Structure 1
């Protein structure tokens, strides 16, 4: 399956979790160090527009959000998951821009996939609700994290590698590679 189709599939997981967030949940701690549900939602709103703009090869500053978290995630999924001719959409081809940096577009698409799955898991874990993705989505996620883990750690995007058994489920291995503890609970 093409990357853009896997991204659309990944979006369904986080959208299902976002739909379950209530006012009382906003102060709930998440696996993202120092972020509660409100702060993580704010992050998705702040960085959604630059990631969405990058799909169109446009530089959009952080914080240009409008609408709800759900609406922003839907626009982001549409921008990177558009099914033009059911081939690789233009968003994933060539170079794009994030802030002032030129980056390979497929790397930014991989970042969007990470936002959907990793932050979808973060929110689900904080709320105590189930979420899941297909093995195809998780294989792509793991590959994307593996190719950018060192850079992500140097930028503070990922934490230190969390050791996970090599035979652990693929989601757990991806979480560990991103610096998340797959066993994390709000009370741990």
Structure 2
């Protein structure tokens, strides 16, 4: 009977004979080789830092920066439009403590000692008519205030449409019209704390408007 152990040893000792790895040792080496191959393939999909986080594309970052830099270019135009709108509104806004521009003082005079409260004179659309208001305080008597405006308005062609009233008391009011009622002025005077408060409002054509 041939001794297989000696035969195997003789076979290994023979020059040029292939080296055989026992089956129980070959399996672990095979597993390590496969793991190394998989790790090498997956490594091509990770970032340089090894964290697995993808870096943003340079083109996208540059595009976002350019868009952010270009956004404020519209701001000056928007501010200019807002300033122009505010200027137009302020031009017709009532004035406190002073006489508004273009107020028709030739038709609605202001007493010399008057303390102006609020005034306004706003054009009505494209027509020559203006909406006017006048609020002031004066030391003139109720009768004197009413006489001042009655004389000026009736001389300008206005007609008083309210019945005569006793103007020696603490209050008085009157309404005047012209141009078939297209122009209207109402006046009220009130005696308060030793002075008179005048409230005047209506719509009129001024001399510059062809009134």
TM range (shorter): under 0.3
State the structure with bigger RCO (CA 8 A, min sep 6), 1 or 2.
1
Larger radius of gyration: 2
TM-score where L is the length of structure 2:
0.23
Comparing both structures, which one devotes a greater share of its residues to helix? 1
Q: Higher strand fraction: Structure 1 or Structure 2?
A: 2
TM-score using structure 1 length:
0.25
